[in-house]
């Protein structure tokens, strides 16, 4: 049970570096797979290089395509935010059920709709 504090520190350091390396490797894999500018063969080549020679493959990938990784991530986030905003605008623009029911009730009270037309419209809205 003799395990000095310094050895525990080094063990923890290596463990966290190993976890960091795995996260970095998956980040590179994700970037390779999601990159639309690479052909299928180029993706296969990068993945094979990163799997067979992981240290060299990842470092070469960062040197060759590292700047583009951040730009692609930023572009993907901006695109997702834009899609979300457009979805929210569309959802807010469509009237809800209560607004439609109030509108047809007002039309019925004004005499523009008969009772049968009102019931059909109400059933259609609630369906």
pTM as predicted: 0.60
pLDDT digits (tens, 9 = 90+) for 86-120: 988 887 776 677 888 888 888 889 888 888 888 89
Q: Give, in degrees to the nearest 5, the angle at Cα 71 between 70 and 74.
A: 85
Average of per-residue pLDDT across 35-39: 90
pLDDT digits (tens, 9 = 90+) for 44-82: 999 999 999 999 999 999 999 988 898 999 999 999 999
Q: Domain ranges in the chain?
A: 5-94, 95-127
């Amino acid at each position: 049970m003799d395990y000095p504090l310094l050895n525990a520190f080094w063990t923890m350091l290596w463990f966290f570096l190993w976890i960091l390396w795995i996260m970095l490797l998956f980040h590179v894999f994700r970037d390779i797979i999601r990159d639309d500018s690479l052909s299928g063969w180029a993706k296969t080549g990068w993945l094979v290089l990163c799997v067979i020679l992981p240290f060299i493959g990842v470092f070469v990938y960062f040197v060759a395509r590292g700047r583009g990784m951040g730009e692609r991530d930023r572009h993907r986030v901006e695109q997702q935010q834009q899609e979300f905003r457009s979805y929210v605008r569309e959802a807010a623009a469509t009237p809800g059920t209560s607004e439609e029911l109030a509108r047809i009730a007002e039309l019925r009270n004004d005499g523009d709709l008969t009772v049968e037309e009102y019931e059909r419209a109400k059933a259609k809205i609630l369906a």
